[in-house]
């Protein structure tokens, strides 16, 4: 099919009209250069252990890709595809990969389609969330996921409750009003009984400090048993948990039992899980059995296509999605566009970090929500002096 005929058919099929993109771009638009680089971002604090892993450190890392074209437009995004896969894009028109009817991006990048979504959004003059559906909330609810085991860091051993209060104050100052607290110290780092008592102490202290109006959840990273998860609810009657994440290794019957326990006690905690799975089919039975209330497939591992497929399955049973995102600054922005795209979005996980390489104008956190710019693509751009100084180039391909 000729390029112009193809563009016309695609625009009509999407109900968009040629003026949105095809009439404003040359038919020979093509990707001419691809630069892959590591984006290292600095966290505002040291992130400690969780129930499974040791200290997480003070930096995040995103594998990023810049797609240059012969028109000056550039696509930018998180992408873990290799050099061989990315090389297949050279000389190709980006719209050749876009499938508007299914709201997906075809091609060789697997889950790493963010750079193509960004580029297609810029070609069409639309934000990515609109291309993905555009039926979510105008501002996206978020939560701070950074309350790890600071009490097990040597520097805070003697004043760990004060440290947690300072961390909360820092997050509150950023605009957060929802917080996730890591628990499960007794699974690996402490005596099981002492670890459980410390978990309760920290959770109580956090609730006291944030007050009754803040949203609060816990995440055990599979470090609890079903009995411990239920006992925690008994022992913390006034804490009012909004969600309980990865309380124990995935098991449909145990999840259903915990949900029934929560229902019988008149509580509102939602059961969340799914971040450790790389395949939606592994968790489809949990969703269809209504064993979980919130599916948390990883944002970067699933990509937009995988997360939207999960959202559609969840919608059919009244469940929500809250993509897992940790160690990825750019993954936060990806989540936000999903939040604006679908109606059954719960909250975006924020792992706060800063970089001198990336500009993110229009993303503002306030009172527990984040705004999303209506700029074409993702509204992200490269600060070239910062890129030259700090970006770690992996490869540079040219047509």
DSSP annotation of 248 = S
Token couple for 309: 């497929």
> Are residues 351 and 145 in contact, defined by beta-carbon separation less than 8 angstroms?
yes
The model's pLDDT over 187-201, given as tens digits with 9 standing for 90+, comes to 999 999 999 999 999
The model's pLDDT over 106-147, given as tens digits with 9 standing for 90+, comes to 999 999 999 999 999 999 999 999 999 999 999 999 999 999
Name the band, by pLDDT with cuts 50, 70 and 90, for residue 18.
very low
Mean pLDDT of 202-227: 99
Token couple for 17: 């009209």
Nearest Cα to 232, choosing from 183, 179, 160? Answer: 183
Domain with CATH 3.20.20.120 in the chain: 140-380
The model's pLDDT over 259-282, given as tens digits with 9 standing for 90+, comes to 999 999 999 999 999 999 889 999
The model's pLDDT over 298-350, given as tens digits with 9 standing for 90+, comes to 999 999 999 999 999 999 999 999 999 999 999 999 999 999 999 999 999 99
Say if domain 3-132 classifies as CATH 3.30.390.10. Answer: yes
Mean pLDDT of 82-106: 98
Domain with CATH 3.30.390.10 in the chain: 3-132
In this predicted structure, what is the pLDDT of residue 277? 87
Phi, psi of 335 (to 5 degrees): -55, -40
Token look-up 């400690």 returns: 48
In this predicted structure, what is the pLDDT of residue 27? 79
- Report the first-to-last Cα separation within the chain, whole angstroms: 23
The model's pTM is 0.93
The model's pLDDT over 372-398, given as tens digits with 9 standing for 90+, comes to 999 999 999 999 999 999 999 999 999
Q: Which residues pair with 65 in a beta bridge?
A: 36, 77
Mean pLDDT of 74-97: 98
Which residues does 101 contact at the CB level (< 8 Å), separation at least 6? 13, 14
Arch. (CATH architecture) of 140-380: Alpha-Beta Barrel (3.20)
User: In angstroms, rounded to a whole number, what is the distance separating the alpha carbons of residues 95 and 107?
Assistant: 11
Token look-up 């009439």 returns: 23
The model's pLDDT over 50-59, given as tens digits with 9 standing for 90+, comes to 999 999 999 9
Q: What is the mean pLDDT of the chain?
A: 94
Name the band, by pLDDT with cuts 50, 70 and 90, for residue 17.
very low
In this predicted structure, what is the pLDDT of residue 278? 84
Mean pLDDT of 23-38: 88
> Are residues 395 and 83 in contact, defined by beta-carbon separation less than 8 angstroms?
yes
Token couple for 143: 């939560």
The model's pLDDT over 137-168, given as tens digits with 9 standing for 90+, comes to 999 999 999 999 999 999 999 999 999 999 99
Q: Is the pLDDT of residue 5 over 80?
A: no
Q: Is the pLDDT of residue 233 over 60?
A: yes
Return the percentage of the chain with pLDDT > 90, whole number: 92
Q: Is the pLDDT of residue 15 over 60?
A: no
In this predicted structure, what is the pLDDT of residue 24? 65
Q: Is the pLDDT of residue 12 over 60?
A: no
């Amino acid at each position: 099919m000729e390029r112009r005929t193809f563009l016309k058919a695609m625009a009509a099929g999407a109900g968009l009209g040629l003026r949105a993109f095809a009439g404003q771009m040359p038919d020979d638009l093509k990707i001419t250069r691809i630069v892959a680089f590591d984006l290292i971002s600095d966290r505002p604090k040291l992130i400690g252990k969780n129930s499974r892993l040791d200290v997480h450190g003070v930096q995040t890392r995103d594998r990023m890709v810049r797609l240059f074209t012969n028109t000056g437009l550039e696509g930018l995004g998180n992408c873990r595809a290799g050099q061989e896969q990315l090389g297949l894009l050279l000389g190709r028109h980006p719209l050749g990969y876009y499938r508007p009817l299914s709201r997906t991006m075809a091609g060789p990048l697997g889950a790493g389609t963010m750079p193509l979504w960004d580029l297609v959004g810029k070609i069409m003059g639309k934000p990515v969330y609109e291309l993905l559906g555009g039926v979510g909330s105008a501002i996206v609810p978020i939560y701070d996921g950074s309350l790890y085991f600071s009490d097990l860091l040597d520097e805070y051993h003697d004043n760990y409750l004060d440290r947690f209060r300072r961390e909360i104050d820092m997050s509150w100052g950023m605009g957060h009003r929802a917080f996730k607290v890591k628990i499960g110290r007794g699974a690996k780092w402490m005596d099981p009984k002492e670890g459980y008592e410390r978990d309760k102490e920290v959770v109580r202290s956090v609730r006291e400090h944030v007050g009754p109006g803040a949203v609060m959840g816990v995440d055990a990273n599979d470090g609890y048993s079903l009995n411990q998860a239920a006992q925690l609810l008994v022992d913390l009657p006034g804490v009012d948990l909004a969600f309980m994440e990865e309380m124990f290794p995935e098991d449909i019957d145990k999840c259903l039992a915990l949900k029934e326990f929560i229902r019988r006690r008149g509580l509102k905690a939602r059961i969340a899980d799914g971040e450790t799975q790389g395949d939606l089919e592994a968790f489809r039975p949990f969703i269809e059995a209504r064993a979980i209330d919130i599916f948390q497939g990883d944002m970067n591992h699933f990509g937009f296509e995988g997360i939207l497929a999960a959202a559609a399955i969840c919608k059919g049973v009244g469940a929500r999605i809250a993509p897992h995102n940790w160690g990825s600054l750019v993954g936060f922005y990806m989540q936000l566009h999903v939040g604006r795209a679908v109606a059954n979005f719960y909250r975006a996980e924020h792992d706060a970090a800063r970089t001198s390489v990336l500009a993110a104008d229009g993303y503002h956190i306030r009172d527990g929500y984040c705004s999303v710019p209506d700029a074409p693509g993702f509204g992200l751009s490269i600060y070239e002096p910062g890129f030259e100084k700090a970006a770690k180039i992996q490869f540079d391909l040219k047509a």
